């Protein structure tokens, strides 16, 4: 039997990188996948491919920084498939290593809204579905930038620290109600997010020496394999954990 058979999984930021790799693996493991992304074209193609193979899937354009977008997307998933068993909060944006002194309020708000408010909105909405069923798995994709201060700028670092706090609080609040909530803290992973970076020179100069300690970058598939484990029954005793996947970078 496939690990996620008869389960419905919502994956945010599913159109590329880690989110896409997670969606592909979850589909192979039998999940009905609900693909959320700001750009509909890529996830629409993924959804059509899954449906053509005889399986269930749904693509929804969703900006996770917008509360109503998330509410509507979760509602649509429930309406189409009857429930939600798994949520992966993966969508996120970088901050170009900008230190607080040079960070404007609009950029701060955009990053916090995407990286922290978005996971809060979706967590809240899926809990309303999961709690009556007394089962569910929530997985947040944080970052080693959420474990230390020297991997990104002020906004990204704050957002990923906040996401770890949300993970732990959600886990303990619902530990006796059949809900598990964990997080992955990846190191450097080969995704398209790096192509959009325009490094702030002040911030990058301060944190660049730490990048030289990175043993290697990871592949999205490597994070996807860990995600599969954490949302599956194989990890039934794991709750409130922050699992680092960085080839040992943070061990220095």
Would you please indicate which residues are annotated as catalytic (active-site) residues?
Answer: 156
Q: Which two tokens stand for residue 81?
A: 């498939």
Q: Bridge partners of 106?
A: none
Tell me the DSSP string of the chain: --TTTT-EEEEETTTSHHHHHHHHHHHHTT-EEEEEES-HHHHHHHHHHHHHTT--EEEEE--TTSHHHHHHHHHHHHHHHS---EEEE------TT--GGG--HHHHHHHHIIIIIHHHHHHHHHHHHHHHHT-EEEEEE--GGGT-SSSS-HHHHHHHHHHHHHHHHHHHHTGGGTEEEEEEEE-SB-SGGGGG----HHHHHHHHHHHTT---PBPHHHHHHHHHHHHSGGGTT--S-EEEESTTGGG-
Task: Determine how many CB atoms are found less than 10 A away from the CB of residue 63.
Answer: 17
């Amino acid at each position: 039997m496939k690990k996620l058979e008869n389960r419905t999984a919502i994956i945010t930021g599913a159109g590329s990188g880690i989110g896409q790799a997670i969606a592909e693996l979850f589909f192979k493991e039998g999940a009905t996948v609900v693909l959320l992304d700001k750009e509909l074209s890529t996830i629409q193609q993924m959804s059509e491919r899954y449906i053509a193979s005889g399986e269930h899937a749904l693509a929804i354009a969703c900006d996770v920084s917008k509360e109503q977008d998330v509410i509507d997307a979760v509602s649509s998933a429930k309406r189409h498939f009857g429930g939600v068993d798994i949520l992966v909060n993966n969508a996120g944006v970088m901050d170009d290593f900008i230190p607080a002194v040079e960070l404007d309020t609009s950029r701060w708000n955009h990053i916090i809204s995407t990286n922290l408010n978005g996971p809060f909105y979706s967590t809240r909405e899926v809990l309303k579905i999961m709690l009556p069923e007394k089962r569910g798995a929530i997985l947040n994709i944080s970052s080693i930038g959420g474990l230390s201060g020297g991997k990104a700028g002020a906004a990204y670092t704050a957002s990923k620290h906040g996401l770890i706090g949300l993970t732990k609080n959600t886990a303990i609040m619902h530990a006796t109600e059949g809900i598990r909530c964990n997080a992955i803290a990846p190191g450097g992973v080969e995704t398209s997010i790096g192509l959009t970076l325009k490094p702030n020179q002040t911030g990058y100069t301060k944190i660049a020496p730490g990048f030289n300690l990175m043993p290697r970058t990871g592949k999205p598939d490597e994070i996807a394999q860990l995600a599969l484990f954490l949302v599956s029954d194989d990890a039934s005793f794991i709750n409130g954990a922050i699992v680092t996947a960085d080839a040992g970078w943070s061990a220095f």
